[in-house]
Structure 1
Amino acid sequence: MPGAKEKAQAEAAAESPPGDRVLSSGEALQAAQANARKPAGEARREAFTLDVRAPDEIRDYLNLHLELQRYRQLQDLDGQELSRLLGAAEANTRDLLGTLGYFAPRISVDLRETPADARAPREVAIAVDPGERTRIAQVDIGFAGNIADNPAAAVQRRDVTTGWGLRSGQPFTQDAWDSAKTAGLRRITARRYPTASVASSSADVDADTSQARLAVTYDSGPPYRFGPVQVKGAERYPPEVAQRLSLLPVGAEYDQAALLTAQQRLAASGYYDSVFLTLDTDAGTPQAAPVIAQVRDAKLQKIVFGVGASTDSGPRLSVDHIHNQLPLIGWRAVSKVSIDQKTKLISSEQTSLPDDNLWRWVTSERLQRELTGSYEVNSGRLRGGRAKSTDHIDRGYYLQYDYATTTNGDADAPPSGSAISTPWNWTGRYFDNPTAPSRGYGVAVEAGPGMTLIGDRAPFLRSYARGLAFLPLDKLQADGSPARSGRLQFRAEAGMVNVKDSATVPATLLFLTGGDSTVRGYSYRQIGARTVDGQIYAGKYLAAGSVEWQRPIVWNGEMTEFESALFIDAGAVADQPGDLKAKVGVGAGVRWRSPVGPLQADVAYGVDPKKFRLHLRLGFTF
């Protein structure tokens, strides 16, 4: 069905008598600009005023789109030319009404002389009775090409039909019809078929019955698979950087979301100031279509200054130094200095490029002074090993050396300790959104044997696990806003260090809890094992959990970007499993879906200390 504006212009041109000329839009604009440049003291009457008499929604639409509006500023518009414009106005009005679904309107166009009107010497009145609005009677969606009979594309076919935007009984408009076709095409091009197109479409409108029968056929074209990544624009870093960090496996089915994720991953890698990935569909190799990576290299070195604050540790200052290509080895190094009220930290981590199996070498060094329970602890760590990151899973295994010493200790303070261990870790993230999830789950596991090196040397086994899950509840709907679900959030963590009592494990390998992201209502890392005089220190066993009810906030009938939250947290740390006694916090809070990530503000009551605490947190990490 041709667009209403194009149809109106074609009919107006066909009805113009030979030798007559209607001003083009460019000529009309030039004339209007010339009129606007006249001296302020000179009268600036319009050629005519336009009065559209129609229901409010239709009147506003016609006032915005009628072709007559272009000619109102032409002071030298004579009567003959205006009559010719009025002849085309009815057809233009009828076409515009057709885009809104009114195909049997009654329209009258009248011209009245108004010499006494200071605004214009003439008035054009267009009266519209739109009649009955056309509604959808039938929708036929067809498929051609590979998608039509490919069993693997059954979900895509179903998504197009179930997600179709125009249903039987709904009003027909040209915009809604175009939007529905485009949305269906996007569902097809998002996966396997980047060259899909609308093969044919028709809107059969019966003006007598005010019904429309719609039909569209999508041609998928051939299915595509990712080929090799071809890097363009790289000058400082070798192409292997983008090729390996993109994590786009050659031979995988084309997926627009995977391409976007790879682009974001490269942009966040620190190697590039800008990245743009596209699939080369003109290469003529659908089963191995090249991925073009257009990049602009970042500087070799960068220093980043940071300022922050949290209710856990107060104000924070940090300086990061990034070297993207260390001399001789070519690894990337990120070094950091951070200072807040509880922690002073100096650290550095070096990583190689991933190999063909996505594994990379990692080394790191760390010196730290931290308030650990009631004691100041100086600690250090050296680590070396291998790590692998994919879309949802991170894993690694290392050889690690730790030491820790208490600086303000009394007779009961934990003694200094050091150890060597071989930790292994695995983290899986399966959330619907990596920065602001509303459903899904995440699981992290760490485990590894070790040997204490100071005092009584003894083997030990350290293990730790945590999980986070979102369970959607009923949906809330507000007028004119998409529905959003409330949810329950479950969080749990547990850890233990199996070692004989006479051995000394460094405090940095033991456990504490409490604070913004663990047990609210308590200070940061102030739930731990206790000495005989009540001093807090890191213990060998940890158990903690939380249940939180999150619900979108509707205000004045409109959905907002805020959510309410009610929660209960509990956690315990001890040196023996039988000594674990839960510390409980309860409270309420508000969540704001800010442009930089979720911001949460909570007020929690610590049942044990019988005090309220404010907890603020920005962003989501797991």
Structure 2
Amino acid sequence: MRAWRWFCCIGLASVFIFAPDSAQAEYTVEINAPRKLKALLKTHLDLARFAKRTDISDEQFEFLVAAVPQQARELAETEGYFSAAVTTDVIEFADKNVVTISIDPGPHTTISSVALNFTGPIQTEAPGREQAARRSWTLRRGEPFSQAAWESAKEASLKALQAKRYAAAKMTRAQARIDPHTQQARLEATFESGPTFTIGPIEISGLKRYPEKIIHHVNPLQPGERYSVERLLELQRQVQNTTYFASVTVDVANDATQPNQVPVKVKVSEYPFHAIRSGIGYSSDTGARVQGHYVYNNVFGRSWILSAQGQFEQRQQNTSLRLSMPPDNKAYTNSLLGSHTRTNIEDTDIRSLRLGAQRARALQNFDYAWTLLYYEDQLMQNAQAPDVSRALVPGWSWTRRNVDDPMFARQGNIISLAAGFAVKDIMTEQTFGRFYMHGRQYFPLGKNDLILLRAELGSVLTAGGSDGIPASLLFRAGGVNSVRGYSYQSIGYEVEGSVLPAKYLATGSSEYQHWFNRDWGGALFYDLGTATDRWQEKVLYQGVGIGVRWRSRVGPINLDVGYGLRERRIRPYLTLGIAF
């Protein structure tokens, strides 16, 4: 087969180079074959690839036609058809040749046996790694054979072996024995683990503007720990999450003769000291948006970060200013911050000023933050004069991400908690405690379906009513990430046509998703929720609907149509990304 392929290549090149000038051949190609094979032949068959060229001579055309049967059979073999019958028919019509290629692929070859063998220290050191490599093998007995699937299975098992401990693992033997008479394939592959690798110190390159200690302070690796691709990716993400570096690559040498204390090479590309970003967008909740962001990464010449941001939407505007120190030796970032937010929704105008400090740390799967924030909120509504509330709130927040894919999750959960309190007369008008929780749980159903459950709870505990508590610390419901079927923040404490934020919040959602292919899916959902000042007087709002899901390159994009059972109204929603 290889000899014929080389003969075709050499012959084709010879015909194209040495063919004398002659009449130009014009032709079209029609292929009769199963859809998958038809697409393969259109892409890779020489006669089809050159059909649009205008410099094909009659001699070259005849050679291309003669090469069709062998080329088509070889292409069919890559899809597991080893007894394909190919016929070609050339008809001249209106000074143009029409070539019809018909292929009967015959029976599809299936896998009769799979033998995976492992050698090296893995046999005694870590049999669990062997099992992981076996589970990653993607071809099973009885499944159809194809060259692409064969290559993918070998690569998947080798990557699983190299993912932990065995950076120098390799495949020493791979054989697919095909019996064209029985249409069966016997597969065999042998993997050599090599020695266990351990992590050494990090070696940094690419730094010109910023000090090395920034990377050392966010480095989660410990010298001497066992090699793991996941841990290297964690280091890469931790460095990338700082605002200093445009790109980060992390790698280790896989020399099997030197597996101990292997240096971790970190190569970075730095952002300049000054950066300006801008963008436009649209949200079905808050309308059209324009935003700008300025960052200066070297305040005081000590790599402190000054960040100024403005986001202006039709129903919500926000400006903020933050001064942050570089990460300390425990990966915490200390910041001073201030912001002003205005929302004008449901005849309620809230203007919130915040000033304070934050100590935060972002890890692989966890985020922590401790804050001390002063709030001064002004609330304007239809029934009363403007009301100003103030509070000094020490707070804490925590987020855990335990999902199989942070961008397109199918299994696992995301949980966020936040708590704070304020004491009367300490820059505060009323003593209260505040708690908020948000969670998502993903349950996969087979390969193409999943169930998403979401819950949200909020409570402000105080001896009195909500008077004196900053409005931005209270709760409203409704909208795309709350109760669909109702407008954004339209569920709350109603007074004279204004919807005011309330002390208690509870929402929940159940969603069934079916994916038609890798990128596109549909959804059915049911939402339920309330926001109220008095739990005994709560009113539950229900919404149902359907949606479209798209796994785009920039993240998940969702288009939903919700029907509010209480208002009997249909509302559309558009979202980009996952709310954490």
TM-score of the alignment, normalized to the shorter chain, above 0.5: yes
Q: Structure 1's 589 and 351: CA in aligned 2 closer, same or farther, altered over 3 A?
A: farther
The answer on 1:588 being equivalent to 2:545 is yes
Name which of structure 1's ranges 252-261 and 58-67 shifts more when overlaid on structure 2. 58-67
Task: Structure 2: state its 5+ residue gaps.
Answer: 88-94
> Counterparts of 1:244-283 in structure 2 under 5 Å?
244-245=217-218, 247-260=220-233, 262-264=235-237, 266-267=239-240, 269-282=242-255
Name which of structure 1's ranges 92-101 and 194-203 shifts more when overlaid on structure 2. 92-101
> Counterparts of 1:346-357 in structure 2 under 5 Å?
346-357=319-330
The answer on 1:600 being equivalent to 2:580 is no
Q: Structure 1's 450 and 198: CA in aligned 2 closer, same or farther, altered over 3 A?
A: same
- Measured in 2, the distance between the counterparts of 1:542 and 1:550 equals 28
Q: Deviations over 1:51-85 (max 9, x none)?
A: 99999999998995799x99x979899xxxx9xxx
- Measured in 2, the distance between the counterparts of 1:517 and 1:430 equals 20
Provide the residue aligned with 1:621 in structure 2: 579
> Counterparts of 1:271-310 in structure 2 under 5 Å?
271-282=244-255, 285-310=258-283
Task: Report the secondary structure of 2:481's partner residue.
Answer: coil
Instruction: Name the % identity.
Output: 26
Provide the residue aligned with 1:218 in structure 2: 191
Shift of 1:398: 2.0
The answer on 1:160 being equivalent to 2:129 is no
Provide the residue aligned with 1:17 in structure 2: none
Shift of 1:447: 1.6
Name which of structure 1's ranges 276-285 and 560-569 shifts more when overlaid on structure 2. 276-285
Q: Structure 1's 28 and 584: CA in aligned 2 closer, same or farther, altered over 3 A?
A: same
Shift of 1:508: 2.2
Provide the residue aligned with 1:478 in structure 2: none
Give the superposed CA RMSD. Answer: 4.6
- Measured in 1, the distance between the counterparts of 2:466 and 2:12 equals 92
Provide the residue aligned with 1:123 in structure 2: none
The one-letter amino acid of 1:589's match is I
- Match 1:195 to one of 168, 184, 199: 168
- Measured in 1, the distance between the counterparts of 2:510 and 2:219 equals 36
Provide the residue aligned with 2:438 in structure 1: 466
- Measured in 2, the distance between the counterparts of 1:183 and 1:133 equals 23
- Measured in 2, the distance between the counterparts of 1:384 and 1:588 equals 42
- Measured in 2, the distance between the counterparts of 1:168 and 1:386 equals 55
- Measured in 1, the distance between the counterparts of 2:350 and 2:307 equals 24
> Which is higher, the Rg of structure 1 or of structure 2?
1
The one-letter amino acid of 1:30's match is I
Check whether the contact 1:406–1:414 (CA below 8 A) recurs between aligned residues: yes
Q: Structure 1's 513 and 96: CA in aligned 2 closer, same or farther, altered over 3 A?
A: closer
Check whether the contact 1:467–1:493 (CA below 8 A) recurs between aligned residues: no
> Counterparts of 1:52-71 in structure 2 under 5 Å?
none
Provide the residue aligned with 2:417 in structure 1: 445
Q: Deviations over 1:111-133 (max 9, x none)?
A: xxxxxxx999xxxxx99999877
Q: Structure 1's 51 and 282: CA in aligned 2 closer, same or farther, altered over 3 A?
A: same
> Counterparts of 1:476-491 in structure 2 under 5 Å?
483-491=447-455
When normalised by structure 1's length, the TM-score is 0.76
Check whether the contact 1:528–1:573 (CA below 8 A) recurs between aligned residues: yes
Q: Deviations over 1:507-548 (max 9, x none)?
A: 2222222222112233322322344x4543233x22222223
Check whether the contact 1:373–1:528 (CA below 8 A) recurs between aligned residues: no
Check whether the contact 2:448–2:515 (CA below 8 A) recurs between aligned residues: no
The one-letter amino acid of 1:568's match is D
- Match 1:421 to one of 393, 409, 414: 393
- Measured in 2, the distance between the counterparts of 1:312 and 1:45 equals 61
> Counterparts of 1:122-521 in structure 2 under 5 Å?
135-151=110-126, 153-154=127-128, 156-205=129-178, 211-245=184-218, 247-260=220-233, 262-264=235-237, 266-267=239-240, 269-282=242-255, 285-371=258-344, 374-406=347-379, 412=384, 415-453=387-425, 458-472=430-444, 474-475=445-446, 483-501=447-465, 504-521=468-485
Q: Deviations over 1:567-616 (max 9, x none)?
A: 22211221x4333x134131313122133222223333334444433322
Task: Report the secondary structure of 1:286's partner residue.
Answer: coil
- Measured in 2, the distance between the counterparts of 1:9 and 1:605 equals 62
Check whether the contact 1:231–1:243 (CA below 8 A) recurs between aligned residues: no
Provide the residue aligned with 1:529 in structure 2: 493
Q: Structure 1's 371 and 171: CA in aligned 2 closer, same or farther, altered over 3 A?
A: closer
When normalised by structure 2's length, the TM-score is 0.81
Name which of structure 1's ranges 438-447 and 208-217 shifts more when overlaid on structure 2. 208-217
Provide the residue aligned with 1:480 in structure 2: none
Q: Structure 1's 422 and 130: CA in aligned 2 closer, same or farther, altered over 3 A?
A: closer
Q: Deviations over 1:131-159 (max 9, x none)?
A: 877653322111112322333x51x4224
Between Structure 1 and Structure 2, how many residues are aligned? 570
Task: Report the secondary structure of 1:354's partner residue.
Answer: coil
- Measured in 2, the distance between the counterparts of 1:559 and 1:9 equals 35
Task: Structure 1: state its 5+ residue gaps.
Answer: 14-21, 109-117, 121-125, 476-482
Check whether the contact 1:273–1:298 (CA below 8 A) recurs between aligned residues: yes
- Measured in 2, the distance between the counterparts of 1:235 and 1:244 equals 18
Shift of 1:414: 6.8
Q: Structure 1's 52 and 382: CA in aligned 2 closer, same or farther, altered over 3 A?
A: closer
Q: Structure 1's 100 and 542: CA in aligned 2 closer, same or farther, altered over 3 A?
A: closer
Check whether the contact 2:84–2:105 (CA below 8 A) recurs between aligned residues: yes
- Measured in 2, the distance between the counterparts of 1:378 and 1:208 equals 79
Q: Structure 1's 311 and 28: CA in aligned 2 closer, same or farther, altered over 3 A?
A: same
The one-letter amino acid of 2:133's match is V
Check whether the contact 1:465–1:494 (CA below 8 A) recurs between aligned residues: yes
The answer on 1:573 being equivalent to 2:532 is yes
The answer on 1:561 being equivalent to 2:524 is no
Q: Structure 1's 25 and 223: CA in aligned 2 closer, same or farther, altered over 3 A?
A: farther
Provide the residue aligned with 2:91 in structure 1: none
Shift of 1:428: 1.1
- Measured in 2, the distance between the counterparts of 1:253 and 1:192 equals 6
Check whether the contact 2:523–2:549 (CA below 8 A) recurs between aligned residues: no
- Measured in 2, the distance between the counterparts of 1:164 and 1:344 equals 52
Q: Structure 1's 561 and 97: CA in aligned 2 closer, same or farther, altered over 3 A?
A: closer
Q: Structure 1's 65 and 515: CA in aligned 2 closer, same or farther, altered over 3 A?
A: closer
